[in-house]
């Protein structure tokens, strides 16, 4: 972190907004091909100025108007809200002012992992704890695509300690609050506050397919997480894991097994080995049958702030903002290669504004292109001409799925999952 932040921001933000902020792609994304004339015009933006002055319910006719105000005011933060029934800037003068649509959004904050990570705490993030985020991205990205049929997902590093996911499909933007709540609850597995020890319980005899799939992603990373975070190294850490075993007899046996070793990795292997042996002998009690999965999921399944997802008019920080505490760009990344994304090396406003006149500048657009060499943002842009076709194809897909019963099974309205 640059120690002179945020003092230098008032000097650098005007350069950033004037020379680097990608207003073109940004506004084209939020216009969705201009299929609906007022879609962009009725969108709420909120600007946070110095000294925590909030300007809510701002709205703009077009890219030029947005750019002009942002360049004039140099906001520390830009938030994106819903698309309303009227222009947000007129909200005091109209009778029925209500949010109609917005992207379905997810917010995963590293501070929610403080009880399971040991490398950092609070606002700090390093490459070790970023591994929790890579697991979260893969699990959530796949669930949204496979269980709900969404295709247009934009993943963004928040600039400090979290990630956001914007689901931009038309079907997602049209979800009402109750559908958003149902969807968020379907995806939420780790629940309960700091006083609740066991946060994941898997009832029934079979794992739901979405949990089986999540387990597959988690298994690829879990041993590394166990080692990097020293999940079983200290007596207190071992006790925290064993506290998730509700059967006292099994807990004692597992403790005995784990105590024979000293490293986290050896202890985890011993615990898994013991449970599997008991399982094979048919000696594991029924409600302990998923204990290995419950431990893994509690430590690494995505921890969602579901209130952000539930609200139709919740504000979320816009991609390409500068995080006012770190100076880092709020940068999109590819969820499929999230493990290659390094939050520590995300460019800061100081770096990119210092290079703005250099002959070999790392221009913002190059940076964006390097991160967006997959789909999402560039894909939204290229959608402009073929948007109608895509929308109708997607609708057809959804209808076909509903007819075939596949979607119905995982439909947020008719949820039959056992979580
Ligand atoms: Zn860390």
State residue 334's pLDDT score: 85
All domains in the chain, ordered by first residue? 5-185+304-403 (3.90.920.10), 194-300 (no CATH)
Residue segments in the chain with a per-residue pLDDT below the cut of 50? 1-2, 373-398, 401-419
State residue 387's pLDDT score: 33
Q: What's the 77 CA to ligand 1 centre distance in angstroms?
A: 25
The owner of tokens 């049209």 is 174
State residue 104's pLDDT score: 97
Tokens of 68: 């002009």
Distance CA 289, CA 273 (A): 13
State residue 347's pLDDT score: 86
Q: What's the 39 CA to ligand 1 centre distance in angstroms?
A: 40
Active site residues per annotation:
44, 107, 109
Distance CA 116, CA 231 (A): 8
pTM here is: 0.86
State residue 375's pLDDT score: 41
Please name the residues in contact with 243: beta carbons below 8 A apart, sequence gap of 6 or more: 197, 198
State residue 303's pLDDT score: 95
State residue 394's pLDDT score: 40
Beta strands in 235-321 (DSSP E): 316-317
State residue 255's pLDDT score: 97
State residue 14's pLDDT score: 95
Q: What's the 285 CA to ligand 1 centre distance in angstroms?
A: 36
State residue 413's pLDDT score: 34
Q: What's the 7 CA to ligand 1 centre distance in angstroms?
A: 26
Q: What's the 129 CA to ligand 1 centre distance in angstroms?
A: 4
* CA 235 distance to own-chain centroid: 33
Tokens of 358: 């250099």
């Amino acid at each position: 972190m640059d120690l002179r932040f945020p003092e230098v921001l008032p000097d650098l933000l005007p350069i950033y907004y004037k020379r680097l902020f990608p207003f073109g792609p940004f506004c084209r994304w939020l216009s969705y091909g201009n299929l609906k004339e007022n879609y962009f015009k009725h969108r709420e933006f909120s600007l946070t100025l110095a000294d925590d002055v909030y300007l809510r319910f701002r709205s703009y006719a077009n890219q030029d108007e947005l750019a002009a105000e942002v360049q004039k005011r140099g906001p520390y933060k830009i938030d994106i809200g819903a698309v309303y029934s009227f222009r947000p800037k007129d909200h005091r003068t109209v009778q029925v002012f209500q949010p109609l649509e917005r992207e379905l959004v997810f917010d995963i904050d590293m501070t929610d992992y403080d009880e399971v990570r040991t490398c950092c705490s609070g606002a700090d993030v390093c490459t070790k704890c970023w591994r929790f985020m890579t697991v979260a991205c893969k699990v959530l990205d796949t669930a949204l695509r496979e269980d709900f049929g969404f295709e247009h997902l934009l993943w963004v590093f928040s600039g400090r300690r979290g990630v956001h996911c914007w689901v931009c499909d038309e079907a997602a933007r049209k979800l009402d609050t109750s559908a958003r709540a149902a969807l968020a609850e379907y995806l939420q597995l780790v629940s309960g506050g700091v006083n609740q020890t066991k946060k994941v319980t898997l009832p029934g005899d079979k794992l739901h397919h979405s949990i089986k799939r999540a387990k597959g992603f988690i298994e690829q990373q879990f041993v590394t997480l166990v080692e990097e975070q020293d999940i079983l190294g200290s007596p207190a850490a071992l006790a925290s894991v064993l506290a998730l075993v509700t059967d006292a007899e099994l807990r004692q046996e597992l403790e005995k097994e784990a105590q024979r070793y000293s490293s986290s990795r050896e202890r985890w292997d011993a615990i898994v080995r013991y449970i599997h042996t008991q399982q094979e002998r048919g000696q594991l009690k029924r409600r302990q049958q998923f204990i290995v999965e419950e431990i893994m999921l509690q430590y690494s399944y995505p921890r969602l702030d579901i209130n952000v997802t539930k609200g139709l008019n919740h504000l979320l920080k816009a991609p390409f903002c500068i995080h006012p505490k770190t100076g880092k760009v709020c940068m999109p990344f590819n969820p499929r290669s999230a493990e290659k994304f390094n939050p520590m090396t995300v460019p800061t406003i100081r770096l990119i504004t210092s290079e703005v006149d250099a002959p070999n500048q790392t221009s913002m657009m190059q940076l964006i292109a390097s991160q967006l060499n997959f789909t999402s943002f560039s894909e939204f842009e290229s959608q402009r001409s073929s948007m109608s076709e895509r929308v109708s194809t997607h609708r057809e897909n959804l209808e076909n799925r509903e007819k075939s019963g596949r979607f119905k099974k995982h439909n947020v309205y008719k949820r039959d999952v056992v979580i």
